[in-house]
């Protein structure tokens, strides 16, 4: 990308904006983070060139003539996270006039994504230079308006919690009610009453028993459940 540090404001106004993508991807159990606290984590990339050289940023990059926005978002995210998310959706467009006073104006199409633990294979458990996972409660100073993009992603995630499928994307195919509640608590950032949560989930029709039980517990083994696709719920 061309450097624009030598241009004044009037000259920069003569240059058309570029289009880029950025993705805020969430995981609850991030790779290569020992003792990670239960929280929402996102992968960030340290910038190695101006503007914002040395600052952390969301995975992303400029669009290419032969790739769609989604393809560009996925390619950059996989390169950073070393894993493919089980969900990716366009979030919003960010095009503030002064997103970077040192660079050509860029309009960013933001995406949000979700990872479950099994999405991360052994090879992506190795740390990479200039790439790291950060807890959304303790983010470093970010480049551009990426803090705003992360906030928008968290807001979208929380607004979707009424849809069971959002929590499902953080879980494996079979799960206990306690595991589901844990995911919802992490997303919402607050504790939920176990009895009320269990009652609401079982009454929703979103889950059914698998017939299997949790093993290796000292207490009464918990039942495993699975989510019911919306297309199948009318038959239950």
Q: What is the CATH number of the domain that holds 182?
A: 1.10.10.10
Q: Are residues 27 and 141 in the same domain?
A: yes
Task: Note whether residue 74 is domain-resident.
Answer: yes
Asked which of 159, 189, 220 is the last residue of a domain, the reply is 159
Task: Give the chain's domain count.
Answer: 2
From the centroid of its chain, how far is CA 79? Answer: 15
Least Cα distance to 15 among 145, 106, 143 occurs for 106
Phi, psi of 171 (to 5 degrees): -110, 165
Q: Are residues 116 and 54 in the same domain?
A: yes
Q: How far apart are alpha carbons 189 and 120 in whole angstroms?
A: 24
Phi, psi of 134 (to 5 degrees): -130, 145
CA-based Rg of the chain, rounded to a whole angstrom? 21
Least Cα distance to 23 among 113, 116, 142, 86 occurs for 113
Q: Are residues 121 and 29 in the same domain?
A: yes
Q: Are residues 28 and 130 in the same domain?
A: yes
Under a CB-based contact definition with an 8 Å cutoff, are residues 224 and 175 in contact? yes
Q: Are residues 208 and 106 in the same domain?
A: no
Task: Note whether residue 77 is domain-resident.
Answer: yes
Q: Are residues 29 and 97 in the same domain?
A: yes
Under a CB-based contact definition with an 8 Å cutoff, are residues 18 and 58 in contact? no
Task: Note whether residue 210 is domain-resident.
Answer: yes
Residue 124 is predicted with a pLDDT of 55
Q: Are residues 59 and 28 in the same domain?
A: yes
Task: Note whether residue 43 is domain-resident.
Answer: yes
Residue 125 is predicted with a pLDDT of 52
Report residues of the chain scoring pLDDT below 50. 1-2, 4, 236
Task: Note whether residue 4 is domain-resident.
Answer: no
Q: How far apart are alpha carbons 32 and 206 in whole angstroms?
A: 33
Task: Note whether residue 184 is domain-resident.
Answer: yes
Q: Are residues 66 and 154 in the same domain?
A: yes
What CATH number is attached to the domain comprising 72?
3.90.79.10
Q: Are residues 19 and 134 in the same domain?
A: yes
Task: Note whether residue 2 is domain-resident.
Answer: no
Task: Note whether residue 121 is domain-resident.
Answer: yes
Under a CB-based contact definition with an 8 Å cutoff, are residues 112 and 94 in contact? no
Q: Are residues 196 and 225 in the same domain?
A: yes
Parent domain of 216: 164-233
DSSP-derived secondary structure for 49-80: SSSSTT-EE-SEEE--TTS-HHHHHHHHHHHH
Q: Are residues 127 and 190 in the same domain?
A: no
Asked which of 125, 159, 193 is the last residue of a domain, the reply is 159
Residue 119 is predicted with a pLDDT of 92
Q: Are residues 62 and 107 in the same domain?
A: yes
Asked which of 99, 132, 159 is the last residue of a domain, the reply is 159
């Amino acid at each position: 990308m061309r450097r624009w540090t030598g241009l004044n404001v009037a000259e920069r106004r003569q240059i058309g904006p570029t289009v880029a993508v950025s993705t805020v991807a969430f995981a609850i159990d991030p790779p290569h983070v020992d003792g990670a606290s239960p929280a929402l984590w996102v992968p960030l990339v340290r910038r190695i060139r101006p503007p914002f050289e040395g600052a952390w940023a969301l995975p992303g990059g400029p669009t290419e003539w032969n790739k769609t926005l989604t393809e560009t978002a996925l390619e950059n995210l996989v390169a950073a996270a070393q894993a493919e998310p089980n969900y990716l959706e366009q979030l919003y467009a960010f095009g503030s006039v002064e997103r970077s006073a040192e660079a050509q104006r860029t309009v960013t199409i933001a995406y949000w994504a979700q990872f479950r633990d099994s999405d991360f294979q052994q090879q992506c458990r190795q740390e990479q230079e200039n790439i790291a996972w950060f807890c959304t409660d303790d983010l470093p100073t970010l480049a551009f308006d990426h803090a705003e993009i992360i906030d928008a992603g968290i807001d979208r995630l929380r607004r979707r919690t009424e849809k069971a499928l959002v929590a499902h994307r953080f879980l494996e195919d079979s799960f206990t009610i306690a595991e589901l509640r844990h995911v919802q608590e992490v997303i919402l950032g607050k504790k939920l009453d176990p009895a009320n949560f269990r009652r609401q989930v079982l009454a929703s029709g979103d889950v059914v028993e698998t017939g299997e039980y949790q093993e290796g517990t000292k207490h009464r083994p918990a039942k495993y459940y699975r989510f019911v696709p919306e297309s199948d719920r009318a038959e239950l």
